[in-house]
């Protein structure tokens, strides 16, 4: 299972653009592809939540999920609870997928969570590179993923 780094990164990315819903075309396109669980979490983030993620980012490096929740809870129990709830909902959906779609989604999340970039634009470019490096899965895999995550319907359209 992927770590909490992806969601901390999304929080930090959120800090970099129009809040609460992005207006920059490329960032908005990425936002619209996020699974509903992530979008709901993102929409509920406050400026204070984003500041907590920003402050805690160095302390979260190398931590397990449970350790990460504890670190976040030390600053905001509510934020830790919301983060954990979103994370569990998202990955419970991934766990319901059959082998090939689950493998693809797990690899995708692992690739995205390991991206290190200093700007939103650089992060988006690296996300694009990682998605292309995974390649377009066969249609049956896409269909099963889209059934669980409808917002990903257009995900492979430009490949």
Residue 24, pLDDT above cutoff 80: no
Which of 45-49, 66-70, 81-85 has the weakest average pLDDT? 45-49
Cα 87 to chain centroid distance, Å, stands at 9
Expressed as residue numbers, the domain containing 135 is 7-152
For the entire predicted model, the pTM comes to 0.74
More confident: 73 or 51: 73
Mean pLDDT of the chain, nearest integer: 79
What is the domain count for the chain?
1
Which pLDDT score is estimated for 15?
47
Residue 70 lies in a domain: yes
More confident: 77 or 57: 77
Residue 158 lies in a domain: no
Q: Residues near 159 by Cβ (< 8 Å), separated by ≥ 6?
A: 131, 132, 135, 136
Tokens standing for residue 37: 């669980």
Residue 62 lies in a domain: yes
The span from the CA of 18 to the CA of 16, in Å, is 7
CATH of the domain at 126: 1.20.120
Average pLDDT of span 140-158: 89
User: How many CA atoms lie within 13 Å of 40's alpha carbon, on the beta-carbon side?
Assistant: 11
Could you read off the pLDDT of 106-125 as tens digits, one per residue? 888 878 776 766 666 677 67
Cα 59 to chain centroid distance, Å, stands at 19
Work out the percent of the chain whose per-residue pLDDT is above 70. 77
Residue 125 lies in a domain: yes
Beta carbons of 155 and 149 less than 8 angstroms apart: no
More confident: 62 or 4: 62
Which of 4-8, 56-60, 66-70, 148-152 has the weakest average pLDDT? 4-8
Tokens standing for residue 54: 């920003």
């Amino acid at each position: 299972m992927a770590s909490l780094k992806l969601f901390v990164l999304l929080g930090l990315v959120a800090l970099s653009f129009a809040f609460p819903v992005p207006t920059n075309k490329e960032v908005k396109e990425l936002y619209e592809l996020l699974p509903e669980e992530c979008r709901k979490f993102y929409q509920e983030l406050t400026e204070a939540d984003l500041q907590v993620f920003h402050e805690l980012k160095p302390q979260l490096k190398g931590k397990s999920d449970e350790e990460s929740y504890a670190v976040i809870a030390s600053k905001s129990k509510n934020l830790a609870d919301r983060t954990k709830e979103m994370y569990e909902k998202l990955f419970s959906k991934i766990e319901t997928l059959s082998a090939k779609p689950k493998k693809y989604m797990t690899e995708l999340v692992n690739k995205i969570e390991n991206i290190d970039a200093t700007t939103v634009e650089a992060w988006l470019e690296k996300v694009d590179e990682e998605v292309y490096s995974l390649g377009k899965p066969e249609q049956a895999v896409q269909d099963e993923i889209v059934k669980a995550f409808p917002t990903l319907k257009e995900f492979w359209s430009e490949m």
